Amino acid sequence: MSLLEVERINSFYGDSHILFDVSLEVAEHEVVALLGRNGAGKTTTLKTLMGVVAPDSGEIRLAGRPIARRPPHEIARLGIQLVPEERRIFGTLTVEENLALAALSADQRLPLGEIYGLFPRLADRRRSSGRQLSGGEQQMLAIARALIRDARLILLDEPFEGLAPIIVQDLLRVTEQLARAGRTIIIVEQNVAAALSVAHRVYVLNKGNVAWQGSTEMLRGSPEVMKTYLGV
């Protein structure tokens, strides 16, 4: 069963047409990578799913329920959580306060113990303010905020960007754990190898269009697609 169905969405920034008839599906418990060069429309796709950008046309359904053009807070209550590239944690609040604030309006929430089991480093830093955290720790906290709300669909925007390889490995481990636990995830990532190591299927965007789609194995076996659209 498809948890998310996107049909021919067109999104704009002002007069600039960014997404052109983008369609995709994500099954429950599936990890889907959204790949493409810079400016391909990947982040705009996530923002459109989250309601930050309202599509000019097209339909988006979550578990069969239309959500296109709803405000972000309603979409969040229905079960989608966006982890933005900028992380946007509260620098003056502690790790635990950031998590408590995220859980405040959640209909269901995961226990803190479960969150700290996934992110032991956050447990060690629970009393530290957001601004005292390293970039990797801030990214862990940003993902933890989405998880504590027990999201049905997690949107990860460039989660490994600018992080040291050892931190990327930690975050990949967590992403793999979430996938094994049946979490549904869409990941946007420039690190193609990292994205493919956790994704079941892939959509490749080029200039706001879906240029290719298929399984991870199919993409690995398509060097021409990798070279043309991903520069790999």
The tens digit of pLDDT for each residue in 194-213 reads 999 999 999 999 999 999 99
Which pLDDT tens digit goes with each residue over 116-137? 999 999 999 999 999 999 988 9
Whether the per-residue pLDDT at 221 is higher than 90: the answer is yes
Note the Cα 23 to chain centre separation in Å.
17
Domains of the chain: 2-79+152-230 (3.40.50.300), 89-150 (no CATH)
- Res 107 pLDDT > 80: no
Q: What is the mean pLDDT of the chain?
A: 92
Q: What pLDDT is attached to residue 1?
A: 66
Q: What is the pLDDT of residue 176?
A: 87
Q: What is the pLDDT of residues 41-67, one digit of tens each?
A: 999 999 999 999 999 999 999 999 999
184-222 burial, b for 16+ CB within 10 Å, e for fewer? bbbbbbbbbebbbebbbbbbbbbebebbbbeebeebeeb
Tens digit of each residue's pLDDT (9 = 90 or more) over 144-175:
999 998 889 999 999 988 888 888 888 888 88
